[in-house]
Amino acid sequence: MEKRKILSEEFGMEMSGDLESEVRDMCNLSQGILERGLQQGERNAKRKTAWNLAGMGMPAEKIAQAVQESVELVEEWLKESRGQIIE
């Protein structure tokens, strides 16, 4: 109902069945994109933390526990970090 009110009052658009379906699809798509971005941001933060902990001498097994990821994934991240500048 809120979407209908906003479209009607702010944009002068009356919501038809087809338009309502399209708006719902767009909202769902936007939510999916947002969730994917948040997941990617969390993964990047974990990767950076892993790099920092490795730089302090922490072994991959402990890093994996700290960032709650598999040892294999942490080892992959650490291999990627070689030769890169970590901000």
Residue spans of the domains in the chain: they are 2-81
- Output the pLDDT for position 78: 92
5-24 pLDDT, tens per residue? 887 888 887 777 787 788 78
- pTM beyond 0.85: no
Separation between Cα atoms, residue 67 and residue 14, nearest integer Å: 49
Residues 6 or more apart in contact with residue 13 via CB below 8 angstroms: 7, 19
Separation between Cα atoms, residue 7 and residue 13, nearest integer Å: 5
Q: 22: which 2 tokens?
A: 């399209």
